[in-house]
Amino acid sequence: MKFLWAPWRIEYILAPKEEEGCFLCKGSESPHEEGSLVLYVGQRVLAVLNRYPYNPGHLMVAPLRHVPSLVDLDREERGDLMDLLTLSLGVLERVMSPGGFNIGVNMGKAAGAGLEHHLHIHVVPRWEGDTNFMPVLAGVKVVPEHIEETYRKLKRAFQEAVGG
C-alpha cells in the first residue's frame, strides 16, 4: 500500500466546524496577523488566500461588510468587488500563469456555502491536466506548492499591483 502524506490537512480535519466568528471579518480586522493569509484589504473589499485550496492560488474576494448575498451589496460594494476580482485575476495570471480559472459564488448552505453568512467569490486557477486520477480514485487532491510560499508570492504581487 502506498501513502500520500498531506500533513497540513489535519488542521482542517481537527478544527471545529463552527468557528467562533467569521474568518473573513477577522482577516479584515487583522490583515497583518501571521497566518491570516490576507492578500489585500481595500475600502470595501478584501482578498484572502483559501486555507484549504482546490488548487494553488485558490483565493476568495469578499466585501468587508458581513452580508450573505449579492443582492445585499450596494452599488459601490458591487463595483469594488468586481474590480478586486479583476485585479486578482491579473495577479494570478502574472504570478502563476494558469491556463484558465473557475470563478464561483455559493450563496446559502444548500448551494454548498461553507461560510454561508459572509458572501465571497472563489477564484480557482486551473491548468491543463490539473485534474487526474487522484481525486477520482483516491479522493485526494495534490497541491504541489506549500500555501505559505504561494501566499508570499501573491502578497508581493498584490502590493506591486496596487502600489503598496
Q: Which three cell numbers stand for residue 61?
A: 474576494
> What own/partner pairs with CB < 8 Å and gap ≥ 24 does 110-113 have?
none
In contact, 63 and 45? CB cutoff 8 Å: yes
In Å, what is the CA distance from 34 to each residue of 59, 148, 154?
17, 11, 15
Q: Which residue out of 118, 120, 122, 146 is catalytically annotated?
A: 120
Residuewise pLDDT in 10s, the chain (164 residues): 555 556 666 666 666 655 568 989 998 888 888 789 999 999 999 999 998 888 899 999 999 999 999 999 999 999 999 999 999 999 999 999 999 999 999 988 888 878 889 999 999 999 987 765 555 445 555 566 788 899 999 999 999 999 86
Give the domain CATH number at 24. Answer: 3.30.428.10
Whether residue 106 is contained in a domain is answered as yes
Catalytic annotation present for 120: yes
Whether residue 83 is contained in a domain is answered as yes
Residues of the domain holding 36: 19-157
Whether residue 51 is contained in a domain is answered as yes
Number of domains in the chain: 1
Whether residue 66 is contained in a domain is answered as yes
Whether residue 10 is contained in a domain is answered as no
pTM to 2 decimal places:
0.81
In Å, what is the CA distance from 115 to each residue of 25, 34, 67, 127, 136?
11, 22, 11, 26, 26
